[in-house]
Chain A
Amino acid sequence: GAGVSQSPRYKVAKRGQDVALRCDPISGHVSLFWYQQALGQGPEFLTYFQNEAQLDKSGLPSDRFFAERPEGSVSTLKIQRTQQEDSAVYLCASSPWTGSVYQPQHFGDGTRLSIL
């Protein structure tokens, strides 16, 4: 079956522009995570959705970052007034249900964002 799909794969923007990154999780997956991965580093948690509810946004770096999942499936991560330090790979992951910590996360291939 289809895995987690992210688009676009690459995004180049000028400093100050707004960007929107899309994630299509595996169908039926309740949990959805966004991570930010700087070059040469491990992923860092940004935010978590259970269906349409954003239960944890503790990792969002600033109020320029906003995420939504209005119908409990597709999610969008939006970054306003981008800055050079926002350059990174943004990864989306989903897992089947919530309430269990003993389940793997399924990752998309990410969006590589470059801010000029």
Chain B
Amino acid sequence: SQQGEEDPQALSIQEGENATMNCSYKTSINNLQWYRQNSGRGLVHLILIRSNEREKHSGRLRVTLDTSKKSSSLLITASRAADTASYFCATHNAGGTSYGKLTFGQGTILTVHP
């Protein structure tokens, strides 16, 4: 079963704009990860944030985590047409396995128009 929901389900923006995607989850977590999936391809890991972290940056990506609200956001700044893809959050639940079993959200489809 899916861990939670992502919002919005679809996002359409112009190149150069920022894109923000949100993820909510239901249980306590050890960490939350964001993945990207191009059409017809596998998932590519973008960033991991631990439960004791509140914000993390990687290049044009900024991830925040609010464990009190059980939510996370992914911000992509200065978007490019090549950022067009589906974006998924995934959680490793606290008290769960030691081997990193992930529970994924339903994803946000991002379209960046040139």
Contact = CB atoms under 8 A, between A and B. Distances in A.
Contacts of A95: 100
B104 to A, nearest CB: 3
Interface in B62-93: 88, 90, 92
A3 to B, nearest CB: 8
Contacts of A100: 98, 100
Contacts, number: 77
Interface residues of A, number: 30
A73 interface: no
Interface residues of B, number: 29
Interface in A4-58: 4, 31, 33, 35, 40-45, 48, 50, 55-56
Nearest to B41: A109
Given A41-B2, A42-B104, A42-B107, A101 B45 contact: no
A45 B102 contact: yes
B20 interface: no
Contacts of A41: 2, 106-107
Given A98-B99, A101-B31, 4 more contacts: A33-B102, A102-B48, A103-B100, A105-B102
